[in-house]
Structure 1
Amino acid sequence: MKTSRMEAFSDGVLAIIITIMVLELEPPETIDREAFRILIPTLVSYLLSFIYVAIYWNNHQHLLYKLNRLNGKVLWSNMHWLFWMSLIPFSTAWVGMNPLETVPTVFYGVILLLCAVSYLFLQKSVVQCEGKTSDLAKEIGYDWKGKASLLVYATGIIFAFWLPVVSYITYFIVAIGWFIPDARIDKTIHNS
């Protein structure tokens, strides 16, 4: 089974996620500073979520670049990941309206955590499909960054109960860490 249909479907879902997020943005009714100040949490949550969707799209493209075949496990792992990704617009809107509240901040962190966990499952199923001795398996290796992200997300979720602002800082830290491309996979793509 070729990967092109799964790639196209995933690209479409991610594009819809971004579209839903941007459609949730409402301009202020007035043009004064207070109206803009009220909008800042919504814009910051949109920015962070957009960055996450962009990072996942980029990593998904890299992951599938070397995939030569598919199986049912890869397809279902991909759907599992897309399910959690599809909740990003809801959690973004909720946290944008209630930036310093515990429950929306925890929920946002849990969604980010589950996106990461499901992506690790997808990555594992892709490696198993290609073979544990494949080039892709070697390029992914231990994936310390993926596993460390889980710990940072969990830390952010815990902080949400006392200091939601610290939670957002941890979520931004993970995003910054993923903004730096994975040199192992980038090298392979450029050499192909």
Structure 2
Amino acid sequence: METERFEALIDAILAIIITIIVLEIPLAANGSWQALIDIKYEFIIYAISFMTCFNFWNFNNEIFNIVNKVDAKVIWTMGLTLFVFSLLPYLTTFVAENFYDFFPQFLYGLIFIITAILLMVISKFLKESDPGNVALQVALENNKKPMSTMIIVIIGIIIGYFVYPPVIMVTCLLSMICIWIIPKIIG
């Protein structure tokens, strides 16, 4: 199967997810600075969720620019990944309303871990579906980015459980920053 329509579907779903996240941001109660400060947690988690969506879109854009064809395994695994990812708007609101509670933060971190695992599976399936594509094979030869995401977020979940739950959200953000930095450090 050609990739253009599949890429368009991914883009459309991500646009819908971002739109839902934006619509869930509460309005300030009035026009004061204090009213903005009162919704600081909602804005912080919104910003991280938005960056997460953009990061996911960027990954897909970079990969699918070099993919020539996909098969059913790629399509269904990406569909499952998008389903998991579509829980982000709900969890964004859940974390914003329960910022210091472990369980909402844990679920938010779990989305990162599950998405990283599914991206490793998709990478494997993409390489199998397009074995003659040397650029794709090289681009997907290792799983350092998703592995680093999983390790960082798991560390955050452990610290969040025992010490301070918002650390999980911070490690989710840190995992994205590492994804941008790792290629420059490793090669």
Q: What do you get for the CA RMSD once the two structures are aligned?
A: 1.8
Q: 2:147 is paired with a residue of what secondary structure? A: helix
Distance in structure 1 (CA, Å) of the matches to 2:66 and 2:182: 16
CA shift, 1:174, in A, is 0.5
Check whether the contact 1:160–1:166 (CA below 8 A) recurs between aligned residues. Answer: yes
Q: What's the offset of the Cα at 1:159?
A: 2.1
Mean CA deviation greater in 56-65 or 144-153: 144-153
Pair 1:179 & 2:180 matched: yes
Corresponding residue of 2:64? 64
| Number of residues of Structure 1 aligned to a counterpart in Structure 2 | 183
TM-score norm. by structure 2 comes to 0.90
SS at match of 1:70: coil
Residues 109 and 171 in structure 1, CA contact (< 8 A), matched pair in contact too: yes
**Is the contact made by 2:45 and 2:95 (CA closer than 8 Å) also made in structure 1?**
yes
- The 3-state SS of whatever aligns with 1:160 is helix
Paired residue type of 2:168: S
Structure 1 equivalent of residue 117 of structure 2: 117
Unaligned runs of 5+ in 1: 184-192
Tell me which amino acid in the other structure corresponds to 1:107.
L
What is the match of residue 152 of structure 1?
Answer: 152
2:100 and 2:180 map into 1 onto residues whose CA distance is 26
Match of 1:169 in 2: 170
Segment drifting more, 80-89 vs 116-125: 116-125
Distance in 2 between the 1:179 and 1:24 partners?
28
Q: Distance in 1 between matches of 2:21 and 2:64?
A: 25
For residue 137 of structure 2, what is the aligned residue in structure 1? 137
Q: What do the CA deviations read for 1:3-24 (whole angstroms, capped 9, x no partner)?
A: 1111011100000000000000
Matches within 5 A, 1:1-192: 1-131=1-131, 134-162=134-162, 163-180=164-181, 182=183
